[in-house]
Amino acid sequence: MSEHYYGEGRPLLSVSNLKKYFPVRKGLLRRVVANVKAVDDISFDIAPGETLGLVGESGCGKTTAGRSLLRLIKPTSGHVEFEGKDVLGASGSEMRKFRRNMQIIFQDPYASLNPRMSVNDIISEGIRVHGLADNRKDAESQVRDLLERVKLDPAYINRYPHEFSGGQRQRIGIARALSLKPKFIVCDEAVSALDVSIQAQVINLLMDLRDEFGLSYLFVAHDLSVVRHISHRVAVMYLGKIVEIAKTKDLFSNPKHPYTQALLSAVPVANPTAKKERIVLQGDVPSPMNPPSGCPFHTRCPRVMDVCKSEVPPTRTADDGHSYTCHLDE
């Protein structure tokens, strides 16, 4: 169990030292000349019923992390356990069982639904493949029930994706993920493509479903204000690494890592008269192919010190699980 865990009992999902490097090949012989370190040694646990938010700028590795732990892409190394069982080393039939329990909702509801399939076919596909229905009629009745759960009219069952709005399509994606009665769902930027008012509705729906079915989520987003409402804890990623992880309230009220502090300074506050100094980060995110030495954030950190350029910072963890990786001892 990693030090970041704060739930009681056995975690539902345990990720240790997960890495995903993409080789860069060049020349006639396609020799590997470098690696893009998309996910670089991350560890975290998720408790039953818990939502962990995973945030960071685009390209920080959060989407790759979510897909690697589900084995949608093959991780380079690391260990993932689901209910105490090894996921990355699982055989084909073992993986089928994991697939039922570990689902994903994709960012783009336009691209992730096959335009030639009806809602009934899209949602019932997994039910039929996994033999969860006695016959076609039973599958259809399960689909109608799922449509109701995601607050779509079951009368739409024979319609096609293009007949729905973005928010409605994402509800279809959620119903598809729920169709196998999973315990864990990766929500991969699941609301990022939606208008703000629709985002709130979909987040509320995901929270209701979590409570109704006892689901756990890894909620991946680039926007801290989006994860705040739904997450019990939040992990912040930068250049493939988790730089801070804490209970949501603690992270927002007492961020320790300068990168988290900068991200939070850009989040709008409810009271516009409240003073808040915006920390503007200079420069772009460095290439994950050639990350900076020492602390990978040192090229943009407003509080950088000499030691940061040469020495990898330590990870400091408080008793309540609030953990951050920095040379500053806050």
Q: Is 40 helix (H, G, I), strand (E, B) or coil?
A: strand
Cβ distance 242 to 41 under 8 Å? no
295 lies in the site for ligand SF4, by CB under 6 A: yes
111 lies in the site for ligand SF4, by CB under 6 A: no
User: What SS3 string covers 163-182?
Assistant: HCCHHHHHHHHHHHHHCCCC
Nearest residue to 241 via CA among 322, 325, 178: 325
- Shortest distance (Å) from residue 20 CB to ligand SF4: 23
- Shortest distance (Å) from residue 301 CB to ligand SF4: 3
Cα separation, 303 vs 301, in Å, equals 5
- 65 or 295: CB nearest ligand SF4: 295
- Shortest distance (Å) from residue 281 CB to ligand SF4: 11
316 lies in the site for ligand SF4, by CB under 6 A: no
258 lies in the site for ligand SF4, by CB under 6 A: yes
Q: Which residues contact 69 (CB under 8 A, 6 or more apart)?
A: 13, 15, 18, 75, 80, 87, 186, 218
Cα separation, 147 vs 153, in Å, equals 6
279 lies in the site for ligand SF4, by CB under 6 A: no
- 291 or 313: CB nearest ligand SF4: 313
- 126 or 313: CB nearest ligand SF4: 313
Cα separation, 61 vs 39, in Å, equals 5
Nearest residue to 20 via CA among 3, 36, 1, 2: 36
> Which residue stretch of 87-95, 101-109, 279-287, 294-302 sits at the interface with ligand SF4 (rule: CB under 6 A)?
294-302
User: Burial of 101 by CB count in 10 Å (0-12 exposed, 13-18 middle, 19+ buried)?
Assistant: middle
Q: Which of 4, 176, 298, 322 binds ligand SF4 (CB under 6 A)?
A: 298
- 143 or 236: CB nearest ligand SF4: 236
Q: Which of 71, 229, 303, 316 binds ligand SF4 (CB under 6 A)?
A: 303
**Max CA-CA distance within the chain?**
68
User: Burial of 121 by CB count in 10 Å (0-12 exposed, 13-18 middle, 19+ buried)?
Assistant: middle
- Shortest distance (Å) from residue 295 CB to ligand SF4: 3
- 68 or 261: CB nearest ligand SF4: 261
Q: Which of 313, 321, 322, 323 binds ligand SF4 (CB under 6 A)?
A: 313
- Shortest distance (Å) from residue 238 CB to ligand SF4: 9
297 lies in the site for ligand SF4, by CB under 6 A: yes
Query: Which ranges of 220-321 would DSSP assign to H, the alpha helix?
Result: 224-230, 248-253, 258-265, 306-310
Binding site for ligand SF4 (CB under 6 A): 257-258, 295, 297-298, 301, 303-305, 308, 313, 326-328
